[in-house]
Structure 1
Amino acid sequence: MLKPRMIEEKMLILLRQGKISKWFSGIGQEAISVGVASALKTNEYILPMHRNLGVFTTRKIPLHRLFSQWQGKMGGFTKGRDRSFHFGTQEFKIIGMISHLGPQLGVADGIALAHKLRKEKSVTAVFTGEGATSEGDFHEALNVAAVWDLPVIFCVENNGYGLSTPTNEQYRCEHIADKGIGYGMESHVIDGNNILEVYAKVNELSNDIRKNPRPVLLEFKTFRMRGHEEASGTKYVPEELMETWAAKDPLDNYAKHLIETGLLNEDMDVSYRGEIALEIEENLQRAFQEESISAILSHELHDVYQDFDYKEVAPLIHKRNIRFVDAISQGLKSAMEKHNNLVIMGQDVAEYGGVFKITDGFVEAFGKERVRNTPICESAIVSTAMGLSINGMKSVVEMQFADFASSGFNPIVNYLAKSHYRWGEKADVVIRMPCGGGVSAGPFHSQTNEAWFTKTPGLKVVYPAFPSDAKGLLATAIEDPNPVLYFEHKGLYRSIYEDVPVNPFTVPFGKANLLKSGGDITIVTYGAGVHWALETLDKHSDISADLLDLRTLQPLDTDAIYASVEKTGKLIILQEDSLFGGIASDISALVMENCFRYLDGPVTRVASLDTPIPFNTSLEQQYLSRSRFEQALLDLLSF
């Protein structure tokens, strides 16, 4: 406990000197971090937060690396891309937080699930504060852990205030540990300032959980002796309360106990402090002497995604005429057979086979351990998928409808998308997104919301239009270690047939498919728009058009688009999504910037109305871009 305390005292000096940018102090809470980390084995994962420096020092991370991290140097863990404790390290089995707090609870679920599936007797510990227990992610993660009997210790540091908001304005139960009752979960209240109590209880529970996997909720009563971060101060805390908790300082009281028992004396204490002070100073100088990071554009762009060595698996001659929905099911089944570490998760995906029956029969083939029904908790399940990836597994998450991804938006765009860029950790997750209109499902089951994700660096977005592409692109998505949003149009499920190779095969990302070749105009589209364009061209056999099916939206095959526009001189882009802010807008801008000299007419975007998608059939037909494409195409041709 002395080492993190002395490091913090030094960091507060450096903060005042402007040599670090921010500090979240854990002074007075060291017993929790050190006690929990000491009770776990070094090969067991811990997911700490801002005030858990003792976790990092107990795991013996070299101090110069921590100091480099806090200074934004290359010797840290995030190449200067993130600060303080927002990082992870597989070497030390520490998975750091993001500022949104809640998702790391679900990530702990995923890490623990991987251990349980491999029958490894391991415990995962995850930290949060009393403030974050009000977040939905807290409820979702604890509920999943309880339903699945996951070996997770949920450590809540109740330090009295969420920034300045006292606990009586945050929850009404007497103890946060009381919430465990609602999840059927064992829970305990622990004196977080007593290192012996912390270590003894966590050690006892860890040994038992390794034998009998289950989650446990621990509430550590403690206090934050400094502000939420240093700029906040502590003026909102009554002085007598500060004095009460100052008397409970875990370091001072344990030192006193050690002296009373003869395990520590003044000379030893002075010696320890001298050794730590020297270690801090030597490592600080090493970090100070490290050169500042040079901004190299290619390095930044390269690290957004994990390198993926795409291996082509060619389709064989033997084919069978199947539906779009069958191709997805076949692709999933082949991947489950190939990857023993692949898990499918989603609402009703097990015995029921999913609402679209894509995983029908999968439980019989692969068992309930790998085909898992989930509670209705999109955020926790996406976070769980991230945890599985961290712990060496793959997952496919089915959003029952793409619309529901909004409930899991935070971990998708802030955790999955950013992890590799921040600290080099892959997110080996595919999220299946049943989407699209034309089936009278109304505003909450019909959106095609790909633009939410094409905007986010770090995500890949796939959107097939034909069964063969659906099967091949899904295989590639599952092989790819990066997070993939895999859109599958519900309207195509049982209406589009194709002769599809029986064997597993792959289709590369970032390669559009030229379906028709002509010199009059370029049509760029994807998903259901491909079939709407084909219908229109069949109706107008005199139109000579290049028809490009994008297949993937991120990465985007700009080369194919530019080459076609250079040839035809005219471009029309068809999307089912609403117009403003959609992928068509970006394609239009790219072509204007790169191909303006070849254009013989304005780039035309055709999209659905800028309204929510309605339920009534006639209103839906009016909404969809399908009804306006033919006229827009003819208008551009006559320009």
Structure 2
Amino acid sequence: MRYHIGDLDQQKLLDLYTGMLKPRMIEEKMLVLLRQGKISKWFSGIGQEAISVGVTHALKAEEYILPMHRNLGVFTSRNIPLHRLFAQWQGKQSGFTQGRDRSFHFGTQEYRIVGMISHLGPQLGVADGIALADMLRRKKRVTAVFTGEGATSEGDFHEALNVASVWNLPVLFCIENNGYGLSTPTNEQYNCEHLADRAKGYGMESRIIEGNNILEVYTKVDEICKAIRKRPRPILLEFKTFRMRGHEEASGTKYVPEKLMKKWEKKDPIANYESFLLSEGLIGHKEIEGFKERISEEINENLQLAFEEPAVSFIESKELGEVYQEYKYEVVESKNNLKNIRFVDAISEGLEQSMYRHNELIIMGQDIADYGGVFKITEGFTTKFGKSRVRNTPICESAIVSAAMGLSINGMKAVVEMQFADFVSSGFNPIVNYLAKVHYRWNENADVVLRMPCGGGVGAGPFHSQTNEAWFTKVPGLKVVYPAFPYDAKGLLNTAINDPNPVLFFEHKGLYRSVYGDVPSDYYTLPFGKANKIREGDSISIVSYGAGVHWAMEVLEKHPEIEADLLDLCTLQPLDLDAVYASVKKTGKLIILQEDTLFGGIASDISAMVMEHCFEYLDAPVKRVGSLETPVPFARELEENYLPKKRFETALLELYNY
């Protein structure tokens, strides 16, 4: 292995040596503790230290870095206190996730590190968002994100590279090509000679770097970072290296040919670099022993601190209370200068006023810039706010949701428009596994609103008509809003944007241009978790949301003899159960109407909770009404009978006469 010192001074050369030595010694200690049963799992980066250490040393302390399993050198190079790392791996309270997640699945704003999730791909898009925030603020910074060669087969990899290239984002995409994805060799994972070659397809630069040569890693990455800070752009780096141990220790390395293992043993980054320093007279054996002794003492002292810390305690209120970031709702009242506008106009107006209120609010989505979106919600926005804040995106929902997460990590707000709520399935993973869990895991918020044009009745067929709120009401950490009237739509959207937690904001397409209402022209907010009583009566309780509220109103107009409480839920998470219970206790009868198919929907949960908490007040079984258990059909006759409006009238009369 050839080393070129260049203009590096002796101190830097030694810093790089000790920078690799420290994670190696920690790992060797962890392997002992693993065999003793004192930690539960270990993903070894032995043999790959030069990459983590070299890249981290090339970045500035204020620049974000997004590591993976085998990047212990990132954490040690950023000087994270070892007792906190050890506590993290033992599931202790002083760990970065307080026992809620393991290994390197954590982040820390203090050290500008954003850890991975097991679904590896989304962090690449998160890096895009972090870099976008830096670029919009004109900060000359680089964001570095790691991935293995196996994860480059994920769609998120391709989406993230494409977005970064189209937007010229200052991201270093670092592929650690270590030969195996668990047990699958590279020749079974991709069919190109070098992964770096893929950059050409995205119009990106790329480099291939000898990942076991610390000086090559550091000097080349340092040079690249300086170039990116001057002229922002993404660059794909492929580090050639090898995984000397199993994917994790339990899997072993029996699948690796012995000849290949011996070949890479000779390329050990620390042993070779140490020999070079000795041969050049830059270090002596005595100094090496001194370094090892000091590192060993530091490891043992910090291990002792972690061992002495008691096991984490379960406190139910604490666990429940930290799923969401605490948000103190700010009441902003209107001046009551009302105007009668459509549902779609209320959404647009709220979004526009929020853009003025929050200077670092970014809107992203397909065709939302000059075109104004397929529903024209953002028409004219680029003239007022510019294309830097109202951003057309490629068709890649997963990367854009992840980028929104990155914007939030870097202190900005994001609104993402799903062209249709149906298309959210392409971005499902980062929503339910990243945005929803990030605060509970490491106290980071996801300041993201996902606008979800949804619903049937417009002849749009199976892929443009779903009302899929139940996909998300099940997931702790997400808030779900579903207004039925223009006044509520504007006020709740403003609140959603103010709220630092992830919000899915459902907007029924059928209501956009058919429903009008008196809406204040100025900015105002409405609280989450508060249902509206649309009609009052004492014979029966009707609970619904979205278009279902309007269907219920139409049916009640036909049957003036039915004196009903009609509740519009407005938000499904949080849910105003107190209002539901109060109504049921008054009327003794409950019918729940949802547009979604019946099984597994929100109506089922409300029904179950009413049975549990209000059983003694009920004079009849709770009824649920929803759409037919089929995909949404296209033809008018089929769709009309798919939707629950007609069945609701029948069920309401049956319950009324029970």
Equivalence for 1:89: 108
Per the TM alignment, residue 626 of structure 1 is displaced from its structure 2 partner at its CA by 1.0
Q: Equivalents in 1 of 2:307, 2:628: separation in Å?
A: 56
Equivalent pairs, count: 639
SS in 2 for 1:461: strand
| 1:64-463 to 2 correspondences below 5 Å | 64-463=83-482
Equivalence for 2:70: 51
| 1:599-618 to 2 correspondences below 5 Å | 599-618=618-637
SS in 2 for 1:88: coil
Q: Equivalents in 2 of 1:18, 1:625: separation in Å?
A: 57
SS in 2 for 1:411: helix
Per the TM alignment, residue 261 of structure 1 is displaced from its structure 2 partner at its CA by 1.1
Q: Equivalents in 1 of 2:516, 2:270: separation in Å?
A: 70
Per the TM alignment, residue 308 of structure 1 is displaced from its structure 2 partner at its CA by 0.5
Per the TM alignment, residue 102 of structure 1 is displaced from its structure 2 partner at its CA by 0.2
Q: Equivalents in 1 of 2:98, 2:557: separation in Å?
A: 54
Write out per-residue CA displacement over residues 207-240 of structure 1, whole angstroms, 9 at most, x where no aligned residue: 0100100000000000000000001000000000
SS in 2 for 1:307: coil
Amino acid at match of 2:264: W
SS in 2 for 1:631: helix
Equivalence for 1:515: 534
Per the TM alignment, residue 260 of structure 1 is displaced from its structure 2 partner at its CA by 1.0
Whether 2:597 is the aligned partner of 1:578: answer yes
Unaligned runs of 5+ in 2: 1-19
SS in 2 for 1:432: strand
Per the TM alignment, residue 313 of structure 1 is displaced from its structure 2 partner at its CA by 0.7
Amino acid at match of 1:367: G
Equivalence for 2:33: 14
Amino acid at match of 1:208: A
Equivalence for 1:485: 504
SS in 1 for 2:250: coil
SS in 1 for 2:352: helix
Per the TM alignment, residue 636 of structure 1 is displaced from its structure 2 partner at its CA by 0.6
| 1:506-585 to 2 correspondences below 5 Å | 506-585=525-604
SS in 1 for 2:223: helix
Q: Equivalents in 1 of 2:218, 2:269: separation in Å?
A: 13
Q: Equivalents in 1 of 2:302, 2:332: separation in Å?
A: 50
Q: Equivalents in 1 of 2:509, 2:284: separation in Å?
A: 73
Residue of 471, 492, 501 corresponding to 2:520: 501
SS in 2 for 1:231: helix
SS in 1 for 2:452: strand
TM-score using structure 2 length? 0.97
Amino acid at match of 1:521: I
Q: Equivalents in 1 of 2:276, 2:550: separation in Å?
A: 77
Q: Equivalents in 1 of 2:628, 2:499: separation in Å?
A: 34
Equivalence for 1:473: 492
SS in 1 for 2:506: strand
Write out per-residue CA displacement over residues 296-328 of structure 1, whole angstroms, 9 at most, x where no aligned residue: 000000000000010111122211110000000
Write out per-residue CA displacement over residues 16-45 of structure 1, whole angstroms, 9 at most, x where no aligned residue: 111000000000000000000000001100
Per the TM alignment, residue 507 of structure 1 is displaced from its structure 2 partner at its CA by 0.6
Residue of 10, 24, 29 corresponding to 1:5: 24
SS in 2 for 1:156: strand
Per the TM alignment, residue 627 of structure 1 is displaced from its structure 2 partner at its CA by 1.8
SS in 2 for 1:173: coil
SS in 2 for 1:522: strand
Amino acid at match of 2:208: V
Q: Equivalents in 2 of 1:124, 1:371: separation in Å?
A: 22
Instruction: Provide runs of 4+ in structure 1 moved above 2 Å.
Output: none
SS in 2 for 1:605: strand
Q: Equivalents in 1 of 2:280, 2:597: separation in Å?
A: 73
Q: Equivalents in 2 of 1:624, 1:272: separation in Å?
A: 72
SS in 1 for 2:415: strand
RMSD: 0.4
Amino acid at match of 2:641: Q
SS in 2 for 1:95: coil
Q: Equivalents in 2 of 1:561, 1:106: separation in Å?
A: 41
Whether 2:86 is the aligned partner of 1:29: answer no
Identity in percent: 74
Write out per-residue CA displacement over residues 32-61 of structure 1, whole angstroms, 9 at most, x where no aligned residue: 000000000011000000000000000000
Write out per-residue CA displacement over residues 144-163 of structure 1, whole angstroms, 9 at most, x where no aligned residue: 00000000000000000000
Per the TM alignment, residue 291 of structure 1 is displaced from its structure 2 partner at its CA by 1.1
Unaligned runs of 5+ in 1: none
